[in-house]
Structures are given as structure tokens and as C-alpha cells.
A and B are shown apart, each in its own frame.
Chain A
Amino acid sequence: MTAVLIEAGVKVAVFLVLLLTVVAYMVWVERKVSAAMQDRPGPNRVGPMGLLQPLADGLKFLFKEDIVPANAHKPLYLLAPVLTLAAALAGFAVIPFGSSIEIGGRNISLAIADVNMGILYVLALGSLNVYGLMIAGWASGSKYSLMGGLRAGAQVISYELSMGVSLIGVLMVTGSLRLSEVVQLQAGGFWHWNLVTQPIAGLVFFVACFAETNRLPFDLPEAESELVAGYHTEYSSMKFAMFFMAEYAHMVTVSALMAALFLGGWHLPFFDLQQAGWSVTAIGLTHMAVFAAKIAFLLVLFVWVRWTLPRFRYDQLMDLGWKVLFPLALANLVYVGIGIAMGLPWLGGFTR
């Protein structure tokens, strides 16, 4: 029992440290990639290639003056960034990073908590995400923030719907809500990946991820030129940094989900490592590296899209969510249903 607790505690600590480091360095990645796309050097003063820039940014945030507007509702104003960050980080608990590793004879699975209903847990946290935005918008006590918060809330719940329905297709093929089983069923090669067998679902999920994390082209609620800065207009120093971190952490979480659900998780196609006689730990660590590589690719894709596409207008955004993505997700559902009933080989078939 104590062993279980210690194992879980260590896993949580390790993943948290890794996640927060990745979140901090996403700032650097964002600035470097955007600089490359705009033909300029990007941060290169602080440390070699600007690698210490996130540290400098963090220190800057710590030393900034903390202003609380007079009209703000203090308790909720302070709660909102914490809520957003917590919901963003908590999604990491069910993601399987690899099969398992062996330390001292114990088989340790590489997911913090591979629960029976991983997909439902993910959807639940997505639903909780909306509260941070709306409460921040209202508690700041200013009209800009309120409008930004309401818009963000409407956007998130609209795209959450398409996200959920696109996941149903994956669920039907897998026959289980457990994320490690979803990954297991994508073993073999590229053609087993859910992105290849259900491309529409993958596309809908990916676009919905952009909207969920409020990234361009869906970042109307926090756009600088629109509503000043939307729901985090009135936030300064560490609370603003928390919103930032929450956004990047959420990006990492949805990239990890996308990789696990649609890109084959930690499977490395064409390499059967068990056959090559590698030890369990070595295989587990390789899996983690492959998964990390896929997440990294998706994160760079996020940044790439941000600096390429212009922002959607609010009505265009809502139209896209309700009139385009939702029918596409439903169409995918029909396709998967018919495919399973017909017994199409690449859709697995529900054998339970």
C-alpha cells in the first residue's frame, strides 16, 4: 500500500516537473519559431540561443507590481487562474506515456492513473476548463473582461461538443474507455493509427483542440487587438503568468491526447523492440521518447498555425463550431457505426 502511494507520488512529481519545464520552454519555442517564420533572430541575448529566456520571463513576472482592480471580487478573482491551471495540469494523470518500466523488480506502468474511464475523465476536465475563463472574466469587474469571458465560455463549450463526439468514434472502435487500450489497438504500423482509419475524427478533434486552448485562429477571447486582452485584461504579474502557463499546459495536454488517441501513442511503427530483445525498461523509455517526439511535433504545429493564420471573427468561429465541425463529427460517427456493423477490417470490429 505504501509502495503504491510512493510510486504514485514519485510519478506525479516527475511528470509535474517535466510538464512545467516543457511549459516554460514553450515560451522559448514559440518565440524562436515565430522569429524563424518572420525572418528575424528571436531571443538570443539571454544565454546561448536565448535558452535562458523563460527564466528571465519568469523573474520578470515575479517582480512585476501586482495590481488588483477596485471593482474586482477578490476571492473569485484570485481563484480563477488557479482553477484554470489546475484543470489544465490535471488532465495529464490519465495519459499513458509508455508501456511500463521495471525498477527493482517492480513493473511500473507509465501512466499516473490509467483509470477505466480515461476518455470520460478527459472530457470532464475539459468541461471544468471553461470555469476559469468565465469566472476570471466576471470577477475582474470590467466590461472588457466580462465580454471576453462570456465569449471564451461560449467558444469552449461549442467546441467541446465536437471534441466529445469525435472521441465517440475512437471509443466505438476501441471498445473501451481506457486510454492505454486505445493506444494498444494502434499497434503495428501507420495504417493502424486512428488518424488514418478515422481522418475526419482526427481533424475535428485537432481543430477543436485549437479552440479549447484559445489558440489562434480561435483566440478572440484573449486577442490583444480585440477586447484589449479579453478575460485576462485586469490580471498582472504572477496571476497573468498563471494564465499563460495554464494555456501552454493545456496545449501540452491536448497534444498528448491527440498523440495518444490518434497518432498511435507511444508506438514506433516498423520497429518491434520486444523481438529485438531489449529490456523492459529500455523499451519503456524508448516509448516515452517516441511519445515525447510526437507531442513535440504537435506543439510546433500549434505554434506554426498560430503565426500563419489570421484570427476568426466571432460569428465565423461559432459557425465553424456548430455548422461545420459538429456535422462532420456526426458524419464520422455514422461512418464508424456502419463500418463496424459491416465488419470493415481497419475499423477493428466490436468483438465483445
Chain B
Amino acid sequence: MSLEALPLEMIVFVVTAVVAVVAALLVVLHRNPVVNAVALIVNLACLAVFFLLLRAPFLAAVQVIVYAGAIMVLFLFVIMLLDLKAELHPPRAGAFQRVMAVFAGAAFLSLMVLAMRRSRSTFAMKEVADAGHGTVERVAEEMFRNHLVSFELASVLLLVAMVGALVIARAFAETPDPQEPSA
């Protein structure tokens, strides 16, 4: 019995998909922002598992390191620093807006399903017997041979974002607090 014969991949996919969708719903529906953030972390971890199933191990690791390990830490920091008393007065959108939001979501979903059905023919999946697909070496080859300029631009972008975030957070720390009485 070979590893491919077992429906292991299918089981993992179904379980992960269920967890991911439940976590995503928690992100959007729960009123406590910290629970939202933790649910998003769970969702990102599920996506990392999907990447592993889709033969993209490097991206799975990068997803955990960058997204779940750094960006979400940033989110958690901001939420905890702001000490949002979410349970007391959660800002709620009006009922009309929430219903319209669900309609908009349904519209998007039908659009995407339509697009998928139209492009059915391109899914004749090429049995790619390429053992190197998705490994670090392959992604690195692709990135540094064909997309080097984008890579350099991305690093400049990150530098700009870092400096920008520092400037914004610092500049407003020096404006006087409106609630404090002037000295």
C-alpha cells in the first residue's frame, strides 16, 4: 500500500478546510478583537497546511514565518496596546449595512464560481512529475533569474514602509492629547 493510495491527503484537506472556514468566520463575526486575531492566526496556519499539500513547502514556511509569525504579532501588539474594551461597547454597523454586506459577499461568491466554471477547460492538470517544484531552490532560481528587479523593488518598499510607520507613529506621539489640560 503506497502513500498515495491512502486518502490521507483528502482527509487532511477536509479537516483543514473546515478549520480554516470556521476560523475565518470567527475573524469576521466574533466581537472580541483578540479572539479575531487568534482566529486569523489559526486561519493562516491552515493556509500553510494547504500550501504544503499543494507542493509549495517554501511558501508554507514563509507564510508561517512572515504572516503568522510577524504580521499577526504586529496586529496583536496594536490590539493589546489599544486595550480595546470590545465587550462593553462594540461598534456595530447598522442592520441594513450588515444585510447588504452579506448580499455583496454572495454576489462576489457567485461571480467567482461563474469564473471558475467558465475556465473549466484549463484544468486538464498536467501531471507534473517535477520533483523540484516548490522547493527553495526552484523558487529562488525563478525569483532571482526572472524577477530580480521586482525583488529589489520589494525590499525598497519594505524599507519605505518601515520608515513610514516609524514616522507616523512617532509624529503623532508629540501632538498634545486633546483630553489633557494644557499646562
Instruction: Note whether A and B contact each other (Cβ less than 8 A).
Output: yes
Assess whether A120 is in contact with B58, with CB atoms less than 8 Å apart: yes
Given contacts A73-B32, A127-B64, A177-B136, contact A116 B69 (CB under 8 A): no
Q: Which of B1, B3, B65, B70 is the one whose CB lies under 8 Å from A120?
A: B65
Cβ of A344 within 8 Å of any chain B Cβ, yes or no, is no
Q: Are A116 and B135 in contact, with the CB atoms below 8 A?
A: yes
Q: Which of A2, A124, A153, A177 touches B1 (beta carbons < 8 Å)?
A: A2
The B interface, classified by DSSP as helix, strand, loop or mixed, is: helix
What is the interface residue range for chain B against chain A? 20 to 34
> Within the complex, which residue of B2, B35, B38, B70 is in contact with A1, where a contact is CB–CB below 8 Å?
B2
With A2-B1, A117-B57 given, is the CB distance from A138 to B136 under 8 Å?
no
Contact of A128 among B32, B64, B135, B136 (CB under 8 A): B64
Complex: chain B residue closest to A127, CB-CB: B69
Judge if A131 is at the interface, Cβ distance under 8 Å: yes
B25 to chain A, nearest CB (A): 16
Q: Is the CB of B57 within 8 A of A1?
A: no
How far, in whole Å, are A138 and B32 apart by their CA atoms in the complex? 12
Docked complex: A112-148 residues within 8 A CB-CB of B: 115-117, 120-121, 123-124, 126-128, 130-131, 134-135, 137-139, 146
Tell me, in angstroms, the Cα distance from A307 to B61 when the chains sit together: 36
| Interface bracket on A | 20 to 34
**Chain B nearest Cβ from A80, distance in angstroms:** 10
List B contacts of A130 (CB < 8 A): 69, 73
Within 8 Å of chain A (Cβ to Cβ): is B27? Answer: no
Q: Given that A76-B35, A177-B136 are contacting pairs, would A120 and B69 also be in contact in the complex, using a CB cutoff of 8 Å?
A: no
A124 touches which of B6, B34, B61 (Cβ 8 Å): B61
Give B60 Cβ to nearest chain A Cβ, in Å: 8
Chain B residues, Cβ within 8 Å of A150? 77, 80-81
Give the chain A neighbours of B41 by CB distance below 8 A: 131
Residues of chain B in range 103-159 having any CB-CB distance to chain A below 8 Å: 135-136
Closest-by-CB residue of A relative to B63 is: A124
Q: Does A157 contact B (CB under 8 A)?
A: yes
Cβ 8 A contact of A73, one of B34, B68, B69: B34
CB within 8 Å for A1 and B65 given contacts A138-B80, A150-B80, A157-B73: no
User: Does A149 belong to the interface (CB within 8 Å)?
Assistant: yes
Indicate with 1 or 0, residue by residue over B44-79, a CB within 8 angstroms of chain A CB atoms.
000000000000011001101100111001001100
B73: which A residues are within 8 A, CB to CB? 127, 130-131, 134, 153, 157
Q: Are B64 and A76 touching (Cβ within 8 A)? A: no
Residue of A1, A4, A121, A146 near B61 (CB, 8 A) is A121
Contacts of A126 in B (CB 8 A): 69
What residues of chain B lie closer than 8 Å to A157, measured between beta carbons?
Answer: 70, 73
Q: Mark B9-46, 1 if CB is under 8 A from A, else 0.
A: 00000000000000000000000101100100100000
Complex contacts, B32 vs chain A, CB 8 Å: 73
* Cα–Cα distance between A121 and B64 once the two chains are bound (Å): 9
Asked if A127 meets B38 with Cβ closer than 8 Å, knowing A116-B135, A120-B58, the reply is: no
Q: With contacts A76-B35, A124-B65, A128-B69 known, is A1 near B3, CB below 8 A?
A: yes
B68 touches A153 (CB 8 A): no
In the assembled complex, the CB of A142 is this many whole angstroms from the nearest CB of chain B, namely 12
Q: Which of chain B's residues have a CB closer than 8 A to the CB of A134? A: 73, 76-77, 80
Once bound together, how far apart are the Cα atoms of A79 and B34, in whole Å?
13
In contact, B80 and A146 (Cβ under 8 angstroms):
yes
List chain B positions with a Cβ less than 8 A from chain A: 1-3, 5-6, 32, 34-35, 38, 41, 57-58, 61-62, 64-65, 68-70, 73, 76-77, 80-81, 83, 135-136
Subset of 26 A-B contacts with CB under 8 Å = A1-B1, A2-B1, A73-B35, A76-B34, A76-B35, A76-B38, A79-B38, A115-B57, A117-B58, A117-B61, A117-B136, A120-B136, A121-B61, A124-B61, A124-B65, A124-B69, A127-B64, A128-B64, A130-B69, A135-B76, A137-B80, A138-B80, A149-B80, A150-B80, A150-B81, A157-B73
A-B complex: 9 closest residue pairs judged by Cβ atoms? A127-B69, A120-B61, A124-B64, A1-B1, A124-B65, A127-B65, A138-B80, A124-B61, A123-B65
